[in-house]
Homo-oligomer: A and B are copies of this chain.
Amino acid sequence: MPRPLRFAVFGAGFWARCQLAAWREVNGVTCVAIYNRTRPRAEALAAACGIPAVFDDPVALLEAVRPDFIDNITEVGGHLPLSLLCARHRVPCICQKPMAGSLADARRMVGAFQRAKTPFLVHENWRWQAPLRQLGVLLASEIVGTPLRARLTMVSGFDVFGNQPALRTLDHFILMDLGSHLLDVSRALFGEARTLACRTSHTLHHEVAGENLATLLLTMGPAATHVVIELGYTRTPLEPGRRELFPQTLAFVEGTNGSIELAPDCTIRVTTRRGTRTSRHAPLAYPWVDAAYALVQASIVPCNIDLLAALRGRRRAETTGSDNLKTMALVFAAYKSARTGRTIAFPS
């Protein structure tokens, strides 16, 4: 039995609370300290979660606690400075998605950890959702042959701003917040992007500073699969149980030998020449999850398991910093495409 890893959390917001709960589902890891700029929020979370030490200075935390790794769960503005701080102290760091506010910042962060020969990972959990994971297994099995086209849809009228008010003020909103997730999923499922075209709209002028609707058309991977990604937080009334499914991603994949539908209620429908087979892939019902976010929050556990295995040197994590640079490159390419009206091509 290896010794437990001692980690500290940076940040004390909505996601820090549930990522801490998810860490408690994983054996061999314990949270020993928390830093937050606003100390009372950190104290409240520490009291709720039994974290023994609270700091409002991250340097003091690193020097006093000497944790095995940091889980940096701050807003995007905190990612660059706190990551560089960890790199300077050669403390392995998990950075919340989206990794950075610009591709230059993201590259700087990854480069700093490479030079420090210190692990740098990204907490990108969307690809760990049970139905999307099963979709990946089915695609890898080639039961539907080569994927010719895929559509990923994450559109909801849900009030995401209630729990995460900072989202209202971002100049770059839905492509950063949700696009980073779905572009990461599309890479995991279909391979690296060859081309990308994106259109965005900003429809909630009084509520949100950034774009809140985005539609992407990519070609990806060895099969040059056509991939459509539909993102929307527009408050559009959608039919409950059929179209209003926050936070479930719907998907439809057409392959050479069959098709796969990721349908409501975490159901997957696989159709081949032999007929249609249906299965359900609901999230595990952890007692600490917010019911409105169950699918997302439950996926934090397998995400953390993968990251922890990498921190123990047992395997390469799926969402390393350098892997996630490719996701961030797509996010910023999407903004560029929307701004210029052009299609972006990626060298293979």
Tell whether A237 pairs with B195 under 8 Å between CB atoms, given A217-B215, A228-B230, A345-B341: no
Tell whether A239 pairs with B261 under 8 Å between CB atoms, given A254-B232, A256-B234, A345-B341: yes
Closest residue to A224 on the B side, CB-wise?
B201
Q: Which residues of B contact A342 (CB under 8 A)?
A: 342-343
Q: Which residues of B contact A254 (CB under 8 A)?
A: 155, 213, 232, 234, 236, 238
A273 CB-CB contact with B under 8 Å: yes
Q: Which residues of B contact A236 (CB under 8 A)?
A: 144, 148, 254-259
A322 CB-CB contact with B under 8 Å: no
Establish whether residues B203 and A199, one from each chain, have CB atoms under 8 Å apart when the complex forms.
no
How many residues does chain A have at the interface if contact means C-beta atoms less than 8 Å apart? Answer: 45
| Bound complex: CA A148 to CA B256 (Å) | 32
Q: Which residues of B contact A216 (CB under 8 A)?
A: 217
Nearest CB of chain B from residue A198's CB, rounded to whole Å: 8
Establish whether residues B271 and A203, one from each chain, have CB atoms under 8 Å apart when the complex forms.
no
Closest residue to A226 on the B side, CB-wise?
B215
| Bound complex: CA A199 to CA B343 (Å) | 11
Listed by A's residue number, 6 A-B pairs whose Cβ atoms lie within 8 Å are A217-B217, A237-B257, A237-B273, A239-B261, A239-B271, A243-B261
Supplied contacts A151-B230, A236-B257, 8 more A-B pairs, CB within 8 Å = A197-B343, A199-B219, A201-B226, A228-B228, A236-B254, A239-B259, A242-B261, A341-B343
